[in-house]
C-alpha cells in the first residue's frame, strides 16, 4: 500500500468533504496503485492537510471521455474543464473513497517541523519511510 500527498484548492477540498466531488481531475497520470492512501493538502489560504482518502481507481482517457463519464463528480463547469484540459490528449481522474477529515493539525508550519525544506507538492508526492515528512502522516 502506498501513501501520497496531493495539493488541491480549498474550494475543491470543501466539495470533497461535502461528498459532492468524488473524483480529482489531473492533467498528468499518477503512478499509484488502487487502495493507496491519498492525503489532501488544501492550498493557501487554508494551508493544511485536511482530508485523507483512498484511491478507488485511476482512469486516464481523452478529455471528452472523462467529461462525459465524470462531469457530475468533478464539480467544475464545462468551461473550467475545457480551460484546464486544453491541448491535452489524455487527462486523469482519481476516484476518491473513504474520505476522512484529518484530526491532527498538519498545517504548513507543523509539516515543516518534520522537514524544514518541505513545500507542498505541485503535482503529488509519494510518502515513503525514507522521507523526513513521512512521520507526520504515520
- Domain ranges across the chain: 3-132
Q: Which pLDDT score is estimated for 88?
A: 97
Residue 117: exposure state from Cβ atoms within 10 A (0-12, 13-18, ≥19): exposed
Q: What is the mean pLDDT of residues 45-53?
A: 97
* Rounded Cα–Cα distance for residues 102 and 52 (Å): 6
**pLDDT above 80 (res 71):** yes
Q: 3-132 in CATH: which number?
A: 2.30.130.30
Contact status, residue 38 vs residue 86, Cβ threshold 8 Å: no
Banded pLDDT at 138 (limits 50, 70, 90): confident
Amino acid at each position: 500500500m502506498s501513501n501520497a500527498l496531493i495539493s488541491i484548492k480549498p474550494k475543491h477540498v470543501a466539495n470533497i468533504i461535502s461528498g459532492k466531488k468524488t473524483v480529482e481531475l489531473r492533467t498528468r497520470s499518477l503512478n499509484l496503485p488502487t487502495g493507496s492512501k491519498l492525503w489532501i493538502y488544501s492550498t493557501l489560504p487554508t494551508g493544511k492537510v485536511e482530508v485523507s482518502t483512498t484511491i478507488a481507481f485511476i482512469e486516464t482517457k481523452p478529455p471528452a471521455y472523462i467529461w462525459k463519464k465524470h462531469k457530475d463528480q468533478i464539480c467544475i463547469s464545462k468551461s473550467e474543464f475545457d480551460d484546464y484540459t486544453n491541448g491535452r490528449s489524455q487527462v486523469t481522474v482519481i476516484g476518491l473513497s473513504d474520505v476522512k477529515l484529518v484530526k491532527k493539525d498538519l498545517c504548513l508550519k507543523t509539516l515543516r517541523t518534520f522537514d524544514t525544506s518541505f513545500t507542498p507538492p505541485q503535482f503529488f508526492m509519494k510518502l515513503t519511510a525514507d522521507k523526513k515528512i513521512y512521520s507526520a502522516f504515520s
